[in-house]
Structure 1
């Protein structure tokens, strides 16, 4: 056998793959240049260069915090926690049926019901909670109720997606064992499916509640109640020491919710 038959050296990619890779990088660079041009089109660079001075000026006005404003924030803080908690509970009632309809091993119909469930999940996840709040404030008026429903609509997709993935990953052997006893579909669901997804369901619930605490703090900026409403009021009158107190309270609230969420998830898992 001649040496010419071994002249071909090993290559990580074929010529077509190399060409596709370079075209991909070229498209990425072109997209970056396009985005840069769009950004520069309406950017006033004089304001950008002056931004550090403006930030220092506002920062100097934010200290010292106005601590006597703190007691008046207790009710909005309670509203924020209520928005996150009730919104999460409302989302669970709607997300659980959607998750079972979306999972391939529990859906009544993979051709008709499952696509509808997936559409609900995608629609919920693609619209931000602030946009939901804007729409709901216009429909049902400003206040806590709009915030609760906005949080719920935003959370449906998150909870349902993670839950239906957990349902699809259950151990089929347990389902087959319960089915072999002659159990009905409701009994199979009760004894074979639900026990396997309960830890995941609990973890998803607590995790989403933690996220909703953070999101509910800013819903008031569009009139949906909570701390965000007081933040908007303080910003409108340039009451920077009050803004500092609100920021500190939001930070403490988020840290506490994160701690609670971590402890509960650790206890469950």
Structure 2
């Protein structure tokens, strides 16, 4: 068993009988759990369809190629809706995430006993539910459409942005804050001139990064009726229009690649 000393040298020691027994028991326990899980998966799997999957995939590929290029004239509005869902959802989430982040950070929260736990709960609650589930809930409340997609993306993004931002707030240089406080500045002046300038690069990076993620997530919200190009994809899948499906997938891929390129350029300029 290797043990690293303070001088970074590795010294090997023989395991005792109890250590060997515990190590073997851990491996056997892991193998037993894996075997049990595999049995459960195997019992609920129709293996005929698994073995037949290559033939089915080849058949779908032959039906989907070549893509139906003339159908691209009907994808302009859906892909525009997808970009709007991602952009507006990101902007709304940032407006809500900033105050939540300041309330959650231990060095800016007004109350560590009452307000901070509430802010942390908001962060965990909005991050723990997928945007598709939020979209399903919102469609039942406000009806299908782009607005439900925007709200779903916004709610899903609050926890992500607030978590990264409050961690950036907690890592600021306290010397600058103390220097501004020593001049007699108010709490809001300290925040505006001592904290905000230090977290602006992190805030910009988080915003661009989340927008890039939201582009990907908004492409599939239409599958549940929340607007965007996913709605066209769902309609094409329902009627087995495979040439249209392949074209839609190519358009989604192009949108994701472009958004990745834009976000990488913006992050590079910021950093």
Question: TM-score normalised to the size of structure 1?
Answer: 0.93
Q: In terms of mean alpha carbon deviation, does 33-42 or 92-101 score higher? A: 33-42
- Aligned counterpart in structure 2 of residue 107 of structure 1, from 106, 109, 114: 109
Give the SS at the match of 1:238: coil
- Which of 230, 242, 247 matches 2:244? 242
C-alpha distance in structure 1 between counterparts of 2:206 and 2:123, whole Å: 15
Q: What aligned pairs does 1:46-57 form with structure 2 within 5 A after superposition? A: 46-57=48-59
Residues 1:208 and 2:204 aligned together: no
**Structure 2: stretches of 5+ with no match in the other structure:** 1-10
Match of 1:4 in 2: none
Distance in 2 of aligned mates of 1:14 and 1:177:
57
Which residue does the alignment assign to 2:140?
138
Cα separation, partners in 2 of 1:23 and 1:111, compared to 1, 3 Å: farther
The residue aligned with 1:266 is 268
Distance between the aligned counterparts of 2:134 and 2:65, measured in 1?
34
Q: Say which of 139, 154, 157 aligns to 2:159.
A: 157
Structure 2: distance between partners of 1:121 and 1:18: 43
Equivalent residue number for residue 46 of structure 2: 44
Counterparts in 2 of 1:24 and 1:177: CA distance versus 1, 3 Å: farther
Return the offset for 1:80.
0.1
* 1:65 match: secondary structure: coil
Structure 1 gaps of 5+ residues are 1-8
Deviation at 1:12, TM superposition (A): 7.8
Aligned to 2:64: 62
Count of matched residue positions in the alignment of Structure 1 and Structure 2: 261
Q: What is the match of residue 229 of structure 1? A: 231
CA displacement 1:70-103 (0-9 Å, x = unmatched): 0100000000000000000110111111111111
* Structure 2 residue aligned with 1:76: 78
CA distance in 2, matches of 1:13, 1:144: 62
Q: Name the TM-score, length of structure 2 as normaliser.
A: 0.92
Mapped pair 1:85 → 2:87: yes
Give how far 1:116 is off: 1.1
Cα distance in 2, alignment partners of residues 116 and 201 from structure 1: 22
Say if 1:160 and 1:44 are closer, same or farther in 2 by CA, change over 3 A.
Answer: same
> Are the structure 2 counterparts of residues 114 and 42 from structure 1 closer, same or farther at C-alpha, using a change threshold of 3 Å?
same
SS at match of 2:177: helix
CA distance in 1 between partners of 2:111 and 2:25 (Å): 42
Shift of 1:42: 1.5
CA distance in 2, matches of 1:88, 1:142: 20
Q: 1:39 to 1:167 in 2, by over 3 A?
A: same
Distance 2:16 2:205 in 1: 45
CA–CA distance in structure 2, aligned partners of residues 114 and 182 of structure 1 = 26
Separation of aligned partners in 2, 1:23 and 1:117: 42
Cα-Cα RMSD: 1.7
- 2:27 pairs, out of 22, 25, 29, with 25
Q: What is the aligned partner in structure 2 of residue 197 from structure 1?
A: 199
* Deviation at residue 39 of structure 1 after TM alignment: 1.1
The equivalent of 1:173 in structure 2 is 175
Measured after TM superposition, the shift of residue 113 of structure 1 is 1.1
Shift of 1:119: 1.0
Instruction: Give the 3 Å change call, closer, same or farther, for CA 115–79 of structure 1 in structure 2.
Output: same
How many angstroms apart in 2 are the aligned matches of 1:132 and 1:19?
A: 48
